[in-house]
Structure 1
Amino acid sequence: MGEYNQQEQPSYTPSEQTAAPQYTPQQQKISQDGQFDEKRSDQTFEEAFKVEKPRFNDLWALFLLIGVIGGFSAVSGICLNAYAAHHSFFGGGIYGGQEQFSLNTNTIILLVFAVVIGFVISIAYFLVARMFTKQFIWITGIVNVLLGFATAIYYFVEHYYSAAIVFLIFAVFGAWCFYSWIGRIPFATLMLQTIMDVTRAYPSILLTSFLGSLVAAAFGAWFSVTLVAVYVRYNPTEGSASCSSSGGCSHATLIGLLVYVTFAGYYISEVIKNIIHTTISGIYGSWYFCSRSTQGMPRWPALGAFKRSMTYSLGSISFGSLIVSIIQLLQQLAGWGEQAARNDNNMIAVALICVLRCLIAVLQWAVNFFNHYAYCYIALYGSAYIPAAKETWRMIKDRGFDALINDCLIDPVLNLGAQFVGYVCALFAYLYLKYTAPAYNSSGNYNAPVVAFAFLIGLQICSIASVPIKSGTATFFTAMARDPEVLRLSYPDLYQKIVHLYPRVQQMIHS
């Protein structure tokens, strides 16, 4: 931002040039209800965080997003129309469908239930974080580990060994991670309490998150119905009513459309999540830089940040989301390949694919890490994606905040929470298939893909519901890396608490 002045303190001028007002930090106070005292302003978000030459960034990615949405809508319309034409054949509920060769209405109900379960548990998970902040990290770690082992044991009892082994690996890894994190929990708790105090002070954060979660759940339901409709429309198995009447069916067409629909689902979900992220980052950035300044907190920061996210920055958001979506698709394809290799008892292929999946997972983590902080910079300064990623990483590395970020457990804990919701949705899907016993799954061939999609639906919805906490943490660290003196001058109480738990922050700020 700009220059910060305080009596008997030297001015601090960061090297980056950004149009910004003059600030006079004041002593921060927290009222009895946990809200931050602040000064209100007549300036808007656009005025507080000016972009020198407002323009759309990364337009090619924006056009690609529009094309993907259009393509997904077209495929969905064609397949849903074919499904509706044979609705009676596929059944009007859980039971009664005559289709024995492909997914049917039974599966649609399953996936819609998964969406609802994922949405409800995700909202409840966020409320637990808000009401039991100090205990939240412990609750998440313990419940996630216990449920992971319980799920693995249940799958072993049911002789569903492939899922049992996968969930057992997840549970063991989660338990090891949680044990290694115990010494870092106090610092993460302070960060989480700070973020939650800000959410209480600005209800627009919660409103943005809730509306975004509704949109994500609605898209999840649309994606689920479309996925089943694609199976129904293009499954070439003899006896498939829709295929025999409409034609054009083949395994190649079916696989190609499933890959495209899966990619589109990942891509659009990522864009939704990152629009929420940049909008909420704008609110947190306004709090950090403006709430104790002479100008004060801008009016309607959520609306201003959302407008920027949906206009100038939408191409940049689409660019970053595209990279993550491609990696997620590769991970999903590798999972399908591994399942096929297991069915063929080709253990060499299974081992090679497992190694590949590990490498893809590392790549996905690295890209998500860069994106998470780059989007904060995009939200506040309207930069294009690549310059924002480079600038954000340079600031974090130069200040040494990469170590502080690594020592904060909030993101890993929230990832465990999303994994927990995925466990529940996946277990529900398996039990649903077992006890409703649809004819198309008489041999259990559809267990793996349906359970996997239910897991991913729960994972994505919870990831979106937890965006306010992740965005707050990322924006806080990004703001400290850019203008660290603000923390010491404007928020001395919070600064002293951080120094007590993480003394190195003093060196970072004065480096």
Structure 2
Amino acid sequence: MSYYHNDNSNNYYPPPPQQQQYGNSGNGGSYYQPPPPQQQQQPFYQQQQQQPFYQPPPPVTNNTYYPPPPPPPSQQQQQQQQLDFGAFDGDFKGAKQYNRAPKFRDLWAALLFLAHFALFVVMAVLFVKALPSSAFKYSGQLQHTKNFYSWPTMIMWLCVLLSSIVFSVLYLLFMQMFAGQMLVISFWFSVVVMIGTGAYYLAAKIWFAGALMVIFGIFYALMWFSWRHRIPFSKLVLQTVCRITRQFPSTMVISLAFLVIQTAYSALWSLAFAGSFKYMEKYQSCSLHTDRNGRQYQSCSNPKEILAWIYMVFSFYWTSSVILNVLHTTISGTFATYYFFEGAPGGYPTKHVTLSSLKRSTTNSFGSICFGSLIVALIQTVRAILRAIRGQGDDSIVVQLIACCVDCILGCIEGLVRFFNKYAYIEVAIYGKPFTQAARDTWSLIKDRGVDALINDCLIGNVLQMGAFLCAAVVALVAWLYITITKPEYNSTGSYTAPIILSAFIIAMSMFMVLLKCIDSGAATTFVCLAEDPEALQRNNPELYRMVRETYPHVVHGVRDNNSY
């Protein structure tokens, strides 16, 4: 498959005068090369009107002065011109705006992240060494396993991971083959899940939650009559994104690679967190106290252990966010390259589109990714601390109420930050902007051009949510079958069954969303690029452009003069 498309049937070059022939095609006909870029600013016929073709030469006298010709451009000027316009020809707006000479942005955030990760690695090594030496010994029989941290348990988690990958890939294939049907099925699947959950709560005599879920399910079903007009647009967007993923299968490969990285990091973090309990015991200090009744009791505290746990939680949030956002920025760069360069006269600026995007995400734009991820990680860490405070039953009702209110406010702020970060990273991927400027431009993009209308009307998120739920349910069933068939000794009382099923459910849902990040990021990038340069969509996808122009005419105006920095 070639990434170069130098023929463009949409570009029209008017013929020059008959006296100006640039070559011969060899078959008796004249071959006219297209005029250079600077001549495309005025049509040929306008040039004839402004300057007559038969213009008499000026009279030659002894006083006539002819200025010397301009000097040829230097090598530095030629390199700068190639850098600015590279592989593009003509008046291609999007290509000229595309990030051609990237710079390192938000370098301080990248250095801070690397320093923080180095400290985490040191702590992880110390904590993992503190685990019991018999933790990973295999007795030879799956059922004779007294320790949860053992090879049979690792085999179970391996089955969970493989099941998640297989289901995610199959679901992606179904999305590509049955895009329209999946949109309808996902909508009614959400209705069934809401009403089914409400019925379960009512059967369990949880009246308020059950009634609320049933009402939401009925209301969601009634929304079908006002939302069904969105299906053609969502179907076309989903088909477009799936078609691009087929054209660039490296997006799926890079998603799978980042899934392996995220899984390996999560496994290391889990082992380190488990070992921290044993390692930090030596820092615990206990003292005897006497209550009002004269009875003595022992009180123990370990502030160093609490600080270590807070740092571990913060590190997990920050590192996981960086991994996912690097993947998101890489895929966004690939889709933006397709959007701006597909069908352009000069073809793609590079042969390896996804690899070049990954290089920019892990070098020039890595600091911006770390900066945005740091904001989300700090909010998540504070919320985790508040949830821990709420989980302690000995606190007063006032503390519980304050913690609940602050957690709710931070949850809303986190949702907004995640939303803006998602589209800010697309600006980073396209133009190589620093994070703060990308965030400001994202706000301008959504506020001034009405991109939020496209985002709200697109139902692709329903398809992904349904797939994530189905994947999590299937993988949780696999984990339950494994632990039921093997019957390990540590689960003789069944105390581990519910935590294992819940963990498998969460892991599978997370893996599904990572693997299908190419769909979510591709749709978001399409919306941003559409607002930035609608003319490019008219060239590479006329059908989608026509639908957007008819349904969202305010978006087609594009964002102008907001990309210089």
TM-score using structure 2 length: 0.67
Q: Structure 1's 293 and 179: CA in aligned 2 closer, same or farther, altered over 3 A?
A: farther
What does 1:331-480 align with in structure 2 at a 5 Å threshold? 331-341=383-393, 355-411=405-461, 413-415=463-465, 417-418=467-468, 421-422=471-472, 454-480=504-530
Equivalent residues of 1:320, 1:371 under 8 A apart:
yes
1:67 aligned onto 2:118: no
Alignment match, 1:290: 341
Alignment match, 1:312: 364
Task: Give the C-alpha shift of residue 418 in structure 1.
Answer: 3.6
Alignment match, 2:315: 264
1:138 aligned onto 2:184: yes
- Please give the root-mean-square deviation of Cα atoms over the aligned residues, in Å: 4.7
Equivalent residues of 1:89, 1:97 under 8 A apart:
no
How far, CA to CA, are the matches of 1:369 and 1:442 in structure 2? 44
1:205 aligned onto 2:251: yes
Equivalent residues of 1:19, 1:51 under 8 A apart:
yes
User: Which amino acid letter does the alignment assign opposite residue 74 of structure 1?
Assistant: V
Equivalent residues of 2:242, 2:519 under 8 A apart:
yes
Structure richer in helix, relative to its length: 1
Alignment match, 2:262: 216
Q: Determine helix, strand or coil for the equivalent of 1:83.
A: coil
Task: Give the C-alpha shift of residue 313 in structure 1.
Answer: 0.8
1:484 aligned onto 2:530: no
1:321 aligned onto 2:369: no
> Higher mean Cα deviation, 220-229 or 418-427?
418-427
Q: Structure 1's 190 and 158: CA in aligned 2 closer, same or farther, altered over 3 A?
A: same
Alignment match, 1:123: 169
How far, CA to CA, are the matches of 2:382 and 2:408 in structure 1? 12
User: Which amino acid letter does the alignment assign opposite residue 209 of structure 1?
Assistant: S
User: Which amino acid letter does the alignment assign opposite residue 522 of structure 2?
Assistant: G
Q: Structure 1's 88 and 369: CA in aligned 2 closer, same or farther, altered over 3 A?
A: closer
How far, CA to CA, are the matches of 1:63 and 1:398 in structure 2? 35
Alignment match, 2:62: none
Q: Structure 1's 135 and 394: CA in aligned 2 closer, same or farther, altered over 3 A?
A: same
Listed one character per residue, the Cα deviations across residues 290-326 of structure 1 (whole Å, up to 9, x for unaligned) are 1111111231111111111111111111111122223
Identity %: 31
How far, CA to CA, are the matches of 2:222 and 2:114 in structure 1? 44
Listed one character per residue, the Cα deviations across residues 332-361 of structure 1 (whole Å, up to 9, x for unaligned) are 4444444445xx798887766555444333
Equivalent residues of 1:25, 1:490 under 8 A apart:
no
State how many pairs are aligned. 463
Listed one character per residue, the Cα deviations across residues 34-71 of structure 1 (whole Å, up to 9, x for unaligned) are xxxxxxxxxxxx9994444x432112211222133223
Q: Structure 1's 186 and 194: CA in aligned 2 closer, same or farther, altered over 3 A?
A: same
Q: Structure 1's 109 and 137: CA in aligned 2 closer, same or farther, altered over 3 A?
A: same
Q: Determine helix, strand or coil for the equivalent of 2:345.
A: coil
Alignment match, 1:78: 126
Listed one character per residue, the Cα deviations across residues 347-380 of structure 1 (whole Å, up to 9, x for unaligned) are 8877665554443332222111111111111112
Equivalent residues of 2:136, 2:149 under 8 A apart:
no
Alignment match, 1:301: 353
Equivalent residues of 1:94, 1:109 under 8 A apart:
no
Alignment match, 2:329: 278
Equivalent residues of 1:20, 1:49 under 8 A apart:
no
Q: Determine helix, strand or coil for the equivalent of 2:364.
A: coil
Equivalent residues of 1:61, 1:315 under 8 A apart:
yes
User: Which amino acid letter does the alignment assign opposite residue 190 of structure 1?
Assistant: L
Task: Give the C-alpha shift of residue 476 in structure 1.
Answer: 1.0
What does 1:91-106 align with in structure 2 at a 5 Å threshold? 96=144, 104-105=149-150
Q: Structure 1's 114 and 70: CA in aligned 2 closer, same or farther, altered over 3 A?
A: farther
Listed one character per residue, the Cα deviations across residues 450-478 of structure 1 (whole Å, up to 9, x for unaligned) are 77655543343222112111111121111
Q: Structure 1's 509 and 254: CA in aligned 2 closer, same or farther, altered over 3 A?
A: closer
TM-score using structure 1 length: 0.73
Equivalent residues of 1:283, 1:305 under 8 A apart:
yes
Alignment match, 2:296: none
User: Which amino acid letter does the alignment assign opposite residue 532 of structure 2?
Assistant: R
How far, CA to CA, are the matches of 1:203 and 1:308 in structure 2? 19
User: Which amino acid letter does the alignment assign opposite residue 484 of structure 1?
Assistant: P
RCO higher in 1 or 2 (8 Å CA, sep ≥ 6)?
1
How far, CA to CA, are the matches of 1:234 and 1:448 in structure 2? 28
How far, CA to CA, are the matches of 2:89 and 2:412 in structure 1? 41
How far, CA to CA, are the matches of 2:281 and 2:336 in structure 1? 50
Equivalent residues of 1:152, 1:167 under 8 A apart:
yes
Q: Determine helix, strand or coil for the equivalent of 2:131.
A: helix
Equivalent residues of 1:91, 1:104 under 8 A apart:
no
How far, CA to CA, are the matches of 2:353 and 2:397 in structure 1? 55
Q: Structure 1's 438 and 130: CA in aligned 2 closer, same or farther, altered over 3 A?
A: farther
Listed one character per residue, the Cα deviations across residues 73-111 of structure 1 (whole Å, up to 9, x for unaligned) are 223222222225242799898655656xxx744876665
Equivalent residues of 1:267, 1:321 under 8 A apart:
yes
How far, CA to CA, are the matches of 1:90 and 1:109 in structure 2? 11
What does 1:126-205 align with in structure 2 at a 5 Å threshold? 126-143=172-189, 146=192, 180=223, 182-183=227-228, 184-205=230-251
User: Which amino acid letter does the alignment assign opposite residue 81 of structure 1?
Assistant: K
**Greater Rg over alpha carbons, structure:** 2
Task: Give the C-alpha shift of residue 194 in structure 1.
Answer: 1.1
User: Which amino acid letter does the alignment assign opposite residue 271 of structure 2?
Assistant: V
